[in-house]
Amino acid sequence: MSVEVIAGLALLGVAVGVLGTLVGAGGGFLLTPVLLIVYPNESAQTLTSISLAAVWANSTSGTIAYLRQRRVDVRSGLLFGVATLPGAVGGALLVGYVPRRAFDAIMAVVLAAVAIWLSIYRRWDFHRTRGGSPRLLVDASGREWRYAVRVRQGVVLSVGVGFLSSFLGIGGGIFHVPMLVTALGFPTHIATATSHFVLAMMSGAAVATHIAQGAYTVGHGLRRSIVLAVGLAVGAQIGARLSIRTSSVAIERLLVAGLAIAALRLAVTV
């Protein structure tokens, strides 16, 4: 790869890492569509494996930052993370059998659907869950977060999230954050932090599966993965710091905007 290509991928990684960590989505929801557009002749398996490697670096780096802020619900995150593992492996295996054009169409539809859902869910009250296992977190700033979590529902939903996010190569944050907030009762800031924790486990399992399949070669695929991973890891630290000064509504609006733009742009290429 040329110096210009390396610099471009690194900057892309930083930008995606900042936004991905800020909204708790890991960046894959933007990175995978960009890779699909930039590399039209690559297989879906190759590009999703590259994206997941970068997402793993981003989510791991972001998790470290969020743990320092004490905003990760570790108890819930461990349960949900383990539940995503079977689906993560299955999704990574299945993507190799899907034609590229069909994959692009599926990606565009999924991104658009999630963007619409996030835009309208506040009109109902069901995202304010009642009952569940009580939680009390005190973050590094001394702020108390009191809420209740529907753990069993979260475990069941996480199985599906693990499969779909691994299959699409987008990590899963765009599904997990809305799920944590709307269905399970998490405050948005705790949801973004906990989602990163779960995402690190899930993407790690998917990456391990792709490694076993030989998806990462010593050629451009491996190099692109490394450059993007470094960029996302740096961006994750920036995004985690910015999240402290960003409101919940602003975070959700950023997520909707990013999803809508990616879906529209990708749909044009189908």
Q: Residue 270 has what pLDDT? A: 62
Which region holds residue 171: left if phi is over 0, alpha if psi is between -120 and 50, else beta? left
Mean pLDDT per 10-residue segment, the chain (270 residues): 80 81 68 82 86 83 89 94 94 91 87 78 51 88 91 91 88 77 85 89 91 71 79 80 72 73 72
This prediction's pTM: 0.78
What residue spans define the domains of the chain? Answer: 3-269
Please give the angle made by the CA atoms of 62, 212 and 96, to the nearest 5 degrees: 90
DSSP run (H or E) holding 163: helix 151-168
Return the percent helix, strand and coil in the chain, to nearest 5. Answer: 75, 5, 20
